[in-house]
Structure 1
Amino acid sequence: MGLPRQIRLRRRKDFDAVFASGRTWSNDLLVLRTLPTNCDHNRFGFVTSKRLGNAIVRNRVRRRLRETVRVLPTRQGFDCVLSAKAKAADADFARLSSAAKSLLQRAGVLPDPAEASS
């Protein structure tokens, strides 16, 4: 099961809005940009540039990021763009997933552990 279409950022103007007005967090594998919205759901976009490698590598990284986001419980009302850095091409799923989770936690997109358990 993939990431539903309604929670994907797809249009250039949506990406541009996040890049222009959003806040940025980063670690050694990823850059996260978020923009608060008034929607009742989150939308996620993924950027994998040619610096990452060939199409096979870029698609693999995108699939791993989509799966990580799909299974996470998130707070609603954010447009998020995850951009992969060059090191992400060599990272395994667990490391990439952990990096994405830590950025989403720092950005406030993931609920606090106390909120998630109640």
Structure 2
Amino acid sequence: MLAARHRLTEAAGFREVSRRGRRAAAATVVVHARPEAGDGPRAGFVVGRTVGGAVVRNRVRRRLRHLVAGRIEAWPGGTTVVVRALPAAAVASYATLESDLDACLRRVLPREAA
């Protein structure tokens, strides 16, 4: 589970990172990151209706949240990341989501944090 202090919940935060942050895309996810956006490392998730019904969206969100929870402590302080799931995430395996997320994080985070 992602700790409350690591959750990005306000719309303004999502907007700021999505518009001004660095972006990397893979087949199942798009990752936006802004290195100096806040106090501690935080993450937010966007899983729209194009991914699937509520059950599918929640499963994808849980998988992504679990993957990020294991990596967020290694990010530099102040880094804010928004992970947006693409429709392919609905049928992707956990391993595929993990490899796509890691590839995107390597591209948007500083070298020592990715």
TM-score by length of 2: 0.89
Structure whose alpha-carbon radius of gyration is higher = 1
Matching residue of 1:85: 86
Distance 1:110 1:46, change over 3 A: farther
- Larger RCO, structures 1/2 (Cα 8 Å, 6+ apart): 2
Judge conservation of contact 2:33–2:109 (CA < 8 Å) in 1: no
Once the two structures are TM-superposed, the CA of residue 23 in structure 1 deviates from its matched residue by 1.4
Report how far residue 108 of structure 1 moved.
Answer: 2.1
Q: What aligned pairs does 1:51-90 form with structure 2 within 5 A after superposition?
A: 51-72=50-71, 73-76=73-76, 77-90=78-91
Is this contact kept in 1: 2:8–2:44, CA < 8 A? yes
SS of residue matched to 2:112: coil
- Evaluate the alpha carbon distance shift between residue 112 and residue 79 of structure 1 in structure 2; reply closer, same or farther with a 3 A threshold: closer
Cα offset for 1:90?
A: 0.3
| Cα deviation, residue 41, structure 1 | 2.3
**Which deviates more, 35-44 or 51-60?**
35-44
2:96 is the alignment partner of 1:95? yes
Report the CA distance shift for 1:24/1:38 in structure 2 as closer, same or farther (over 3 A): closer
Name the structure 1 match of 2:26: 27
Name the TM-score, length of structure 1 as normaliser.
0.86
Equivalent residue for 1:116?
A: none
* Matched positions, count: 112
5+ long unaligned stretches in structure 1 = 114-118
Q: What CA deviation, in whole Å up to 9, does each residue of 1:54-109 have, x standing for no partner?
A: 01000000100111011125221311000011101000111101111111111125
Please report the RMSD computed on the Cα atoms of aligned residues, expressed in angstroms.
Answer: 1.8
